[in-house]
Amino acid sequence: MITRGLRRTFARRAVLLLYHRIVKPSVDPWSLSVSPQHFDEHLHVLRKHFYPLGLTEFLRLLRGRIIPRRSVVITFDDGYADNLASAKPLLEANDIPATLFVVAGQGNTFWWDELERLILYGEFDTGLVSFSARDQLHLLELESPPVRAGDTDSPEGASGNAATGRMEAYREAWQVLRRLGTEERRDVLARIATEATATPGYPDARRLNPDEIFQLQNSGLVEIGAHTMGHPFLPELSHSEQRAEVVGSKQALEQLTGKPVTTFSYPFGALSERTVEIVRNAGFSCACTTKPSAAWRYSDQYRLPRMAIEDCDGEVFGHRLANTFTRLEA
């Protein structure tokens, strides 16, 4: 008869942590940023109370069905420049590995950051934003002045000049643009830009450039994974379009880094059975979702769950993570 202790050993879980940016912006519409100070506190907590693993090492242990108690894996999505400037030195100081899932297509900024710059920080003579997408006209009312750098402190940037009206307009436009193809989305942003004057002081939201991606891959602690070419909503694309996004990102990053790229992350955490099949056939060893759960010996390696981390201090972070493991081990 298997004892309760043995059952716990065989059923140990690991928590994969999902970060995006290590920066403290004035406005954070989706709560994707963690300040450098708080990230450093998170790493100290992980080093002291948990068992940090790299994603590749975790996969090896998962296949062997031997997961160390309180294992955690750090991952980043998208590929912001602050991952190099702010996250990498802190990871090195704490000797903790991480995987960075990079959008492989070229560009200085991501489309949602360009939209944020225009809608939240832009000045519009009419107080309206209008654009057409897929033969439908969209009119967005801007019910507040544009954001000024440093004038908001709330997590969603919805106080002061960043009033609710601007945030609602941004999110409505984001929902429309998320489902457009790359070219059509670029055209819509260009049309909005002709109506807006972006205000000075928009915070840096620059993407990693090729040299910086190469530098991270060769740092020894950061592994580069793929996150498609253009960060689309994959299930809404055709089979050939999905394959181009998935396979293209793997090939582009391998050519850039000179090393195999074996891990993948689904943009928006969105996937279908067809998407998973494409990722598996592309030769990836695993793929990560945004489902807030834990991984264990019977987890599907192409649907690995992750816990999104919001900005909080080390004490709050440690309590939340400890409580998560307590529930898992009960």
- DSSP strands (E only) in 175-217: 196-198
- Rg of the chain in Å (alpha carbons): 21
| Structure tokens, 319 | 């309590």
On whether both 123 and 93 belong to a single domain, the answer is: no
Gap between the Cα atoms of 167 and 297, Å rounded:
42
pLDDT by residue (tens digit) across 32-56? 999 999 999 999 999 999 999 999 9
Element (H, E) at 17: strand 14-19
Gap between the Cα atoms of 52 and 48, Å rounded:
10
**Structural domain tally of the chain?**
2
Q: Which of 198, 231, 258 is the last residue of a domain?
A: 198
pLDDT by residue (tens digit) across 157-215? 444 444 466 888 999 999 999 888 888 899 999 999 988 877 766 777 899 999 999 99
On whether both 74 and 165 belong to a single domain, the answer is: no
Residue 257 placed within a domain? yes
On whether both 165 and 214 belong to a single domain, the answer is: no
Provide the pLDDT for residue 150: 58
Rounded to an integer, what is the distance from CA 165 to the centroid of its chain? Answer: 26
48: domain range? 4-107+209-329
Q: Which of 177, 198, 219 is the last residue of a domain?
A: 198
Q: Any idea what DSSP says for residue 80? A: B
Contact call for residues 73 and 28 (beta carbons, < 8 A): no
On whether both 227 and 312 belong to a single domain, the answer is: yes
Closest to 212 measured CA to CA, from 88, 55, 77 = 88
Provide the pLDDT for residue 159: 41
Buried b (16+ CB within 10 A) or exposed e, 252-270: bbbebbeeebbbbbbbebe
On whether both 102 and 169 belong to a single domain, the answer is: no
| Structure tokens, 33 | 């940023």
Instruction: Give the residue ranges of the chain where pLDDT is below 50.
Output: 1-10, 152-163
Q: Which of 178, 198, 218 is the last residue of a domain?
A: 198
On whether both 217 and 308 belong to a single domain, the answer is: yes
Gap between the Cα atoms of 162 and 165, Å rounded:
8
Enter the pTM of the model. Answer: 0.90
On whether both 232 and 325 belong to a single domain, the answer is: yes
Long-range contacts of 60-69 (CB under 8 A, 24+ apart): 62/14, 62/295, 62/297, 62/299, 62/301, 65/10, 65/297, 67/12, 67/13, 67/14, 67/296, 67/297, 68/12, 69/12
- DSSP strands (E only) in 229-276: 263-265
On whether both 96 and 117 belong to a single domain, the answer is: no
On whether both 242 and 158 belong to a single domain, the answer is: no
CATH code where residue 244 lies = 3.20.20.370
Provide the pLDDT for residue 296: 85
Residues listed for the chain: 330
